Amino acid sequence: MKRWLPLILFLVLVGFFAKGLFLNPREVPSPLIGRAAPAFTLPLVGDPARTFSPADMKGRVWLLNVWAPWCVSCRQEHPVLMQIAASGRVPIVGLNWKDKDREAQALLAQRGSPYVAVPDDVSGKVGIDYGVTGTPETYVIDRQGIIRMKHIGPIGPEVWKDKFEPKLKELGA
Amino acid sequence: MIPEIGHFALIVALLVALTQAILPLWGAQTGNARLIAVARPAAQGQFVFVAIAFGCLAWSFLQNDFSVENVAKNSYSQLPPMYRFTAAWGSHEGSMLLWTLILAFWTTAVSVFSRHLPDDMVARVIGIMGLISIGFLGFLLTTSNPFLRLIPAAPEGNDLNPLLQDPGMVFHPPTLYMGYVGFSVAFAFAIAALLSGKLDAAWARWSRPWTTVAWAFLTTGITMGSWWAYNELGWGGWWFWDPTENASFMPWLAGTALIHSLAVTEKRGAFKAWTVLLALIAFSLSLLGTFLVRSGVLSSVHAFATDPARGAFILGFLAIVIGGSLALFAWRAPRMLTGGRFAWFSREAFLLANNVILLAALGSVLLGTLYPLLMDALGLGKISVGPPYFNSVFVPVMAPALFLLGIGPLTRWKGDSLPDIARRLKWAFAVAVASALLLPLVVAGFKPWASIGVFFAVWIAAGVVVGLRERIRNQRGALVARLAALPRGYWGMQMAHLGLAIGVAGIAIVANYQSERDVRMNVNDHAELAGYTFTFRGHSEYDGPNYRAAKGIVEVSRNGKKLFTLYPEKRIYNASGMAMTEAAIHPDLWRDVYVAMGEPIDDKGAWIIRLFHKPLVNWLWIGGLLMAAGGFMAASDRRYRIALREARAKGAALAGAAA
Amino acid sequence: MKSLLFCLALVLSAPLFAGEAAPVGDDPAIEQRMVNLASDLRCLVCQNESLAGSHAELAEDLRREIREQMKAGKSDKEVIEYLTNRYGDFVLYKPPFKPVTYLLWLGPLIFLGAGVGAWYWVLRKRRATPPPAVDPDQLAAAAKLLDEKQ
């Protein structure tokens, strides 16, 4: 019966490959989910005298949106973020990541800001603490300051409806 | 107009392939000579049409026809003509067309060089290759058409990826594909044998030269790919265990096991089931490699732009071809009678051990390559499996094979005596051990793995020498004449094994004793590495055909005596804006001196420069090419040219009779 | 005159003192440690490149971070933990030895062991096979053929 072994092994492999076609090998889950959002204190864009820290948001469910002025995909999700901000559904904090050319303030002034605060992470060090590998990336953080979800890529209407809304409801927002 | 002709030629080729597959296979099954006779002309016809299609694509590239989407995405008007031509296979669609062309070429070769084989067997072989052609032509026409038009035409192309603008691009894909695709011949022979039920030593003799030539091409292709990476990527690496590299290495491992297994089946009629299965596995791995690289299931530097539709098509094709062949194997395997007896200590036993070890190594590489996918598919998270895993696993698994290689070729078939072999090899063993232990005297410091590698290399080489001596000892005549009289098959074997030894020595030394320094160099600064002094004399800028370059000047001297000057470059390509580093290498049999430009530091002309000293690195490519040469030599053995000689003899006899 | 001025400009623009090139990192020992460690780590924004060899910006940031950690006295193990806490096991090119990767690490050993077992078993079977019975007529015919050839 071992003459059937090669065929059986192969068919098992085909099954895995078929499943693999629906997966993205580059989409890496975050190890931070279920852990406390790493603490930091950063000056705000346009108002360096004031600072922001995740502790400021304790007691509320909020989104940390990692973005950059030079990021093209971020502009795609900007209108969606503006809608969310306007509806008051959940506060969004925009972490300005590696903005060496200091373009964030002008850009937000021009296009409008969906953010309640814009901490300035020029060096990218806070990004490293959050496991950021590119922009945009968005974290959902709960009332106790625990990271509950991470979304990589721009937020479109479907993503908001299918991924974010259920999570926000779950967290009681 | 030309792209449409190319497109049409592909459609015709598909129709011919359908004829080529269905009619001869049916004919062989039913014994219909007329249907069987369709095989050869159909194969040749298909080749003509695929060649026309490829010619049209190449023409579009050479003529800068940016109304063809493939040309617009992969070429550039200022690209030098040579690279405009090779850009034809620089994309997924183009390389698939190359695959199909080479498959048709091999099929035509079979149709021409098989006059001495039974017609029904040839019909089956050509028919099965036709089935594979159908799959690829269908794939091209449905999901990967290289002749799609871009309307309106682009004013300029996106440029070929600068990494591909290198001579390696000219040789690496074609030779690699000649190898990969060439295993389809062995595959077809195996299926033909399973279908007909005729699996004997004669079958092995027929398939052997085809398989060996394909293997030799694959060896060449992999060697060229490794050399190309070393030259082009600018960080001195030559193997990364990237999924695409593994995708070509796994068929090579299976192919190596196959050519050795065929030897046993041909000479002793043994290992039949093994050999057939290996033939199926080798080509299956080629197809699997094609799937892995183009479907997006694995992350790789080499991956073509991925598309789930393409992935699904290839997977379906894979399932049918490989699944079908393995099912056929399972069904027909019991009919294959087992071969003769052999003792514990015999060449058969050694070759069986060789196969087992190669398959274990193959399994390890496959496991490591697929593990991230397996874990992800089971929802167990995402991991990376890279060089640290493969190096720590592959080397120990292969090591026993390297040891056995010193002994196996000297062992007699059926049975030999261990004390006798030990006696014959004791000096070889002593020399190998001595080399390993004395190595640190020649190089800097004792590194265990280097010594182990050198032991194996010298052991194998010494075994080759012992084998040659014994072989010619009982003959008479001058040394050169005696050596020349040895059959090519024997020479091929020794050359290939020696090539392996050279490669192993190169790897052992370069991996353990290479040195590197990253330095900040102002103009006229100097740095030391491995006894050489590197002096940076600034840089100049110039415009290449499709790039802007900063060309550094680095003088290399030793003990105050100037040896040579190297000119590493940093290029920014016009179309893509991509930066590429062109390393400057001073090659030598015993070492490479390798300099690459890093980044400019300030505006006073200072740069970060990477310096490398790579001892024996060229032994890798020399070893690889010698292995391939051995393969080609063995395939040209006179056993396989008998048909040619018989035909000529017949001709001479007729001429003699007429005179 | 113009050429003289040009030469003068060239000479004056060259650094007055050309000396030994400085290593890229301030501390060669730390640099070597960093490169060795980073060679076994994955560049997260590349398709498949090591952190040591990649030119990507994030890779440079992470190399800088590793250097700083090493200067602060952290061991290799601690640096790896720092990275896996933030990026997961995906960043390691050498998969950790955990229950979920037992099969990966032990697999090759199992394959080799199974192969050796198969080799042993096949050889035993071959030795046990009796020699094929030879048809005496065929034997006689073969002998006749051999005599003829001589």
Q: Which residue of A has its CA nearest to B310?
A: A21
Q: Does C86 touch chain A (CB under 8 A)?
A: yes
Yes or no, beta carbons of C21 and B242 under 8 Å apart: no
How does pLDDT run across B537-574, given as a tens digit for each residue?
999 999 998 899 999 999 999 998 999 999 999 999 98
CA distance linking residue B133 with residue B139, whole number of Å = 10
> What's the whole-number mean pLDDT along residues C73-101?
94
B 581-640 residues inside an 8 A Cβ radius of C: 598, 604, 608-609
Q: Which chain C residues are Cβ-neighbours of A128 within 8 angstroms?
A: 61-62, 65, 86
Q: Are strands A137-141 and A62-67 parallel, antiparallel or unpaired?
A: antiparallel
pLDDT score of C48 more than 60: yes
CB-neighbour burial class of residue B52 (10 A; exposed 0-12, middle 13-18, buried 19+): middle
> What's the whole-number mean pLDDT along residues B358-379?
95
Yes or no, beta carbons of A131 and C58 under 8 Å apart: no
> What's the whole-number mean pLDDT along residues B14-33?
96
Q: Does B360 touch chain C (CB under 8 A)?
A: yes
pLDDT score of B659 more than 60: no
- The whole-number pLDDT of residue B652 equals 63
Report CA torsion sign: C44, C45, C48, C54.
Answer: negative
Q: Which of A4, A14, A20 is facing B373, going by the closest CB pair?
A: A20
Yes or no, beta carbons of B281 and A11 under 8 Å apart: no
CA distance linking residue B361 with residue C109, whole number of Å = 10
Q: Which of C103, C108, C132 is facing B393, going by the closest CB pair?
A: C108
Shortest CA gap A86–chain C (Å): 32
Q: Does B187 touch chain A (CB under 8 A)?
A: no
Q: Does B385 touch chain A (CB under 8 A)?
A: no
Disruptive mutation site among C34, C94, C98 for chain B (greatest number of B CBs within 10 Å): C94
- For chain B, the average pLDDT equals 91
Disruptive mutation site among A28, A101, A123 for chain C (greatest number of C CBs within 10 Å): A28
Q: Which chain C residues are Cβ-neighbours of A16 within 8 angstroms?
A: none
How does pLDDT run across B142-194, given as a tens digit for each residue?
999 999 999 888 888 888 888 888 888 888 999 999 999 999 999 999 999 99
Q: How many residues does chain A have?
A: 173
Q: Please report, as a single letter, which amino acid is at residue B80.
A: P
> What's the whole-number mean pLDDT along residues B208-212?
95
Tokens of C124: 């035993």
Shortest CA gap C133–chain A (Å): 27
- Find the radius of gyration of the CA atoms of chain A: 20
Task: Give residue A94's Cα distance to chain centre.
Answer: 10
CA distance linking residue B143 with residue B307, whole number of Å = 9
Q: Does B367 touch chain A (CB under 8 A)?
A: no
> What's the whole-number mean pLDDT along residues B123-128?
96
Q: Which of C58, C62, C90 is facing A28, going by the closest CB pair?
A: C90
Q: Does B48 touch chain C (CB under 8 A)?
A: no
What are the angstrom distances between the C-alpha of A73 and each of A68, A78, A86, A133? 10, 9, 21, 14
Task: Give residue B307's Cα distance to chain centre.
Answer: 26
User: Which of B511-515, C75-79, C123-127 is predicted least confidently?
Assistant: C123-127
Q: Report yes or no: B37 and B119 within 8 Å, Cβ to Cβ.
A: yes
CATH architecture observed for domain B1-160: Up-down Bundle (1.20)
Q: Which chain B residues are Cβ-neighbours of C93 within 8 angstroms?
A: 384-389
Report CA torsion sign: C3, C5, C9, C12.
Answer: positive
Tokens of B398: 């292969």
Yes or no, beta carbons of A28 and C87 under 8 Å apart: yes
- Find the radius of gyration of the CA atoms of chain C: 34
Report CA torsion sign: B528, B529, B535, B538.
Answer: negative
Yes or no, beta carbons of B377 and A10 under 8 Å apart: no
Yes or no, beta carbons of C47 and B363 under 8 Å apart: no
Q: Which chain B residues are Cβ-neighbours of A33 within 8 angstroms?
A: none
Yes or no, beta carbons of B297 and A6 under 8 Å apart: no
- The whole-number pLDDT of residue B637 equals 87
Q: Does A34 touch chain B (CB under 8 A)?
A: no
Domain ranges of chain C: 19-95, 97-130
Which helix (H) or strand (E) segment holds residue A85: the answer is helix A72-87
**Contacting subunits of A (3+ beta carbon pairs below 8 A):** B, C
Q: Are strands B579-582 and A120-121 parallel, antiparallel or unpaired?
A: unpaired
Yes or no, beta carbons of B297 and A10 under 8 Å apart: no
Q: Does B644 touch chain A (CB under 8 A)?
A: no
Render A110-169 in DSSP notation, one character per residue.
Answer: HH----SB-BEESSSHHHHHTT--SS-EEEEE-TTSBEEEEEES---HHHIIIIIHHHHH
pLDDT score of B63 more than 70: yes
Most distant CA atoms of chain B, gap in Å: 87
Beta-carbon-side half-sphere exposure of residue A80 (alpha carbons within 13 Å): 18
The backbone torsions φ and ψ at residue B578, rounded to the nearest 5 degrees and listed phi first, read -75, 140
C-alpha dihedral over A53, A58, A60, A62, to 10 degrees?
A: 30
Q: Report yes or no: B206 and B257 within 8 Å, Cβ to Cβ.
A: no
> What's the whole-number mean pLDDT along residues B91-102?
94
- The whole-number pLDDT of residue B643 equals 58
> What's the whole-number mean pLDDT along residues B612-627?
96
Disruptive mutation site among A3, A11, A14, A17 for chain B (greatest number of B CBs within 10 Å): A17
Q: Does B522 touch chain C (CB under 8 A)?
A: yes
SS3 B452: helix
CA distance linking residue A40 with residue A48, whole number of Å = 15
Q: Report yes or no: B264 and B271 within 8 Å, Cβ to Cβ.
A: yes
Shortest CA gap A132–chain C (Å): 8
> What's the whole-number mean pLDDT along residues C18-26?
73
C-alpha dihedral over B570, B574, B576, B579, to 10 degrees?
A: 10
Give the confidence band of C16 by pLDDT, cuts at 50, 70, 90. very low
- The whole-number pLDDT of residue C13 equals 47
C-alpha dihedral over B224, B226, B232, B233, to 10 degrees?
A: 170
The distance in angstroms from the start CA to the end CA of chain A is 59
CA distance linking residue A83 with residue A72, whole number of Å = 19
Give the confidence band of A144 by pLDDT, cuts at 50, 70, 90. very high
- The whole-number pLDDT of residue B642 equals 67
Q: Which chain B residues are Cβ-neighbours of A12 within 8 angstroms?
A: none
Disruptive mutation site among A133, A135, A152 for chain C (greatest number of C CBs within 10 Å): A133
Q: Please report, as a single letter, which amino acid is at residue A166.
A: P
> What's the whole-number mean pLDDT along residues A98-104?
90
Q: Which residue of C has its CA nearest to A124?
A: C61
CA distance linking residue B183 with residue B280, whole number of Å = 9
Give the confidence band of B647 by pLDDT, cuts at 50, 70, 90. low
- The whole-number pLDDT of residue C71 equals 93
How does pLDDT run across B319-334, given as a tens digit for each residue?
999 999 999 999 998 7
- The whole-number pLDDT of residue B601 equals 84
> What's the whole-number mean pLDDT along residues B274-290?
94
CB-neighbour burial class of residue A161 (10 A; exposed 0-12, middle 13-18, buried 19+): exposed
Place of tokens 């973020």: A81
Shortest CA gap B140–chain C (Å): 26
For residue B597, the cross-strand partners are B609
CB-neighbour burial class of residue B15 (10 A; exposed 0-12, middle 13-18, buried 19+): middle
Shortest CA gap C72–chain B (Å): 22
CA distance linking residue B29 with residue B196, whole number of Å = 8
> What's the whole-number mean pLDDT along residues C33-54?
90
pLDDT score of B645 more than 80: no
Least Cα distance to A114 among A145, A87, A149 occurs for A87
How does pLDDT run across B36-61, given as a tens digit for each residue?
999 999 999 999 999 999 999 999 99
Fold of C19-95: Helicase, Ruva Protein; domain 3 (1.10.8)
How does pLDDT run across A12-53, given as a tens digit for each residue?
999 999 998 888 877 888 999 999 999 999 999 988 899 999
CA distance linking residue C87 with residue C99, whole number of Å = 20
- The whole-number pLDDT of residue C14 equals 45
Least Cα distance to C82 among C67, C97, C98, C94 occurs for C67
CA distance linking residue C52 with residue B62, whole number of Å = 38
CA distance linking residue B525 with residue B534, whole number of Å = 8
> What's the whole-number mean pLDDT along residues B206-211?
93
CA distance linking residue A74 with residue A96, whole number of Å = 11
Domain ranges of chain B: 1-160, 515-618
SS3 B533: strand
Q: Which chain A residues are Cβ-neighbours of C88 within 8 angstroms?
A: 28-31, 131
Least Cα distance to B280 among C108, C112, A9 occurs for A9
Yes or no, beta carbons of A31 and C65 under 8 Å apart: no
Fold of A33-170: Glutaredoxin (3.40.30)
Q: Report yes or no: B496 and B642 within 8 Å, Cβ to Cβ.
A: no
C 41-70 residues inside an 8 A Cβ radius of A: 44-45, 57-58, 61-62, 65
What are the angstrom distances between the C-alpha of B616 and each of B227, B242, B641? 13, 23, 38
Respond yes or no on whether the N-terminal peptide bond of residue A136 is cis (omega within 30° of 0): yes
Give the confidence band of B308 by pLDDT, cuts at 50, 70, 90. confident
B 470-509 residues inside an 8 A Cβ radius of C: none
Yes or no, beta carbons of A31 and C44 under 8 Å apart: no
Q: Does C72 touch chain B (CB under 8 A)?
A: no
What percent of chain B lies above the pLDDT cut of 90? 71
Yes or no, beta carbons of A7 and B329 under 8 Å apart: yes
Q: Which chain B residues are Cβ-neighbours of A11 within 8 angstroms?
A: 319, 323
CA distance linking residue B142 with residue B619, whole number of Å = 44
- Name the DSSP letter for residue A50: E
Yes or no, beta carbons of A124 and C87 under 8 Å apart: no
pLDDT higher at B441 or B253 = B253
Which helix (H) or strand (E) segment holds residue B110: the answer is helix B92-112
Q: Are strands B579-582 and B561-566 parallel, antiparallel or unpaired?
A: unpaired
pTM recorded for the entire structure: 0.91
Least Cα distance to B350 among A3, C110, C122 occurs for C122
Cβ neighbors of A2 (< 8 A, separation 6 or more) are: none
Render B598-610 in DSSP notation, one character per residue.
Answer: EEE-STTS-EEEE
Q: Which chain C residues are Cβ-neighbours of A28 within 8 angstroms?
A: 44, 87-88, 90
